[in-house]
Copies of this chain bind each other. A is one copy, B any other.
Amino acid sequence: MKRPRKEKEWLDHIRKTFSAPPAPRGIGDDCAVLEKEKWCVTTDTLVEGIDFERGWAPPEAVGWKALAVNLSDLAAMGARPAHFLLTLAIPPDFKDEKVEKLLSGMAALASKEKVSLVGGDLSRSPDKLYISITAFGFPPERPLMRGKARPGEPVYVSGPLGCPAAALSAMKNGARLPSFPLDSRVPPENVILDRFFRPPSQSGLGEKLAGHRIASSAIDISDGLLLDLSRLLEGSGCGAVLNAEEIPRAEGAGGAPVSLGEAMKSGEEQILLFTVRKSCEKTISRLGTRLFRIGFVSPKAGLWMQRGGRVSALRAGGFDHFGR
């Protein structure tokens, strides 16, 4: 039987898995050294038993997603992803081959998005797998912030919503993703489950929205449209009126669109939600990405839904890690 890898062997393996970092100091010293005038920095963690279960999908999928959720936060600021630190706390029964697969999934996304691993921390865990990433991006001249929307501005999302919620509920009911092809030419075996672990990259879009000063504010939907919309508007003094018919709904398990409720509460979307400066609405169509106008910023704080000519107040709901 192969002896399990030691810490130093893991470091060597990780150095090989992720190509050499352009940072002046990389993996293996006490700190990484980053050289740049400004940095966007974010951190996000996947916890086994909370954010995923080990059996849901191959380890490559978990590795991909752990990095993707961080890149999505950078995109929501309009930052171009550059580097990341990786912390893994590995339980004894998560064998080396699985760690390698997890790393290879992460490395595939890192290579696709041109981000380099510059350091991290390896630890044992008593029983659950923890993957914590801190990601660094080059910010645009004016990072996309929350709280900057103005009345009358249209509200957009960058893709259909609800697929992750459908996938999550399918996996909780026993559905499993049999494979997670890292070669982009291989189609996924289950589009809905695959989407959960492989959110569409928002990096290019975020950069454009910030660089061309198109968006007045932005956030990535990680805890549900309604909750994240209320976060986006917080501090602006504004609210929003959504149009039920315009909220794009993803295909669910049976091929039919998910329900409106699911689309509005689905978390882990890693889809951008943003408000657009009034003078820029025409530019939106020239960005080369399909974007969906779902409503307008209103001068009064609160959320409303327009449906068949009737307007009703919404309660901001979504995923709260500490909610009931």
Contact = CB atoms under 8 A, between A and B. Distances in A.
A35 interface: yes
Integer count of this chain's copies in the complex: 2
A7 B124 contact: no
A50 B7 contact: no
A42 B32 contact: yes
A49 B126 contact: yes
Contact of A7 (B29, B30, B87, B320): B320
Contacts of A323: 6-7
Contacts of A34: 38-39, 41
A30 B124 contact: no
Contacts of A321: 7, 122-124
A122 B42 contact: no
A123 B25 contact: no
Nearest to A323: B6
Contact of A30 (B76, B85, B126): B76
A40 B31 contact: yes
A32 B37 contact: no
A281 interface: no
Which has the most chain B C-beta neighbours within 10 Å: A25, A28, A132? A132
Nearest to A44: B121
Contacts of A77: 29-31, 33
A51 interface: yes
Interface stretch (A138-146, A182-190, A238-246): A138-146
Given A6-B323, A85-B134, A125-B128, A30 B47 contact: no
A74 interface: yes
A41 B31 contact: yes
A135 to B, nearest CB: 8
Q: Count chain B CB atoms within 10 A of each CB in A37, A74, A76, A123 and give the residue with the most.
A: A123
Smallest CB-CB A-B distances: 10 pairs: A49-B126, A31-B40, A31-B42, A30-B76, A30-B73, A134-B134, A34-B39, A132-B132, A32-B41, A6-B322
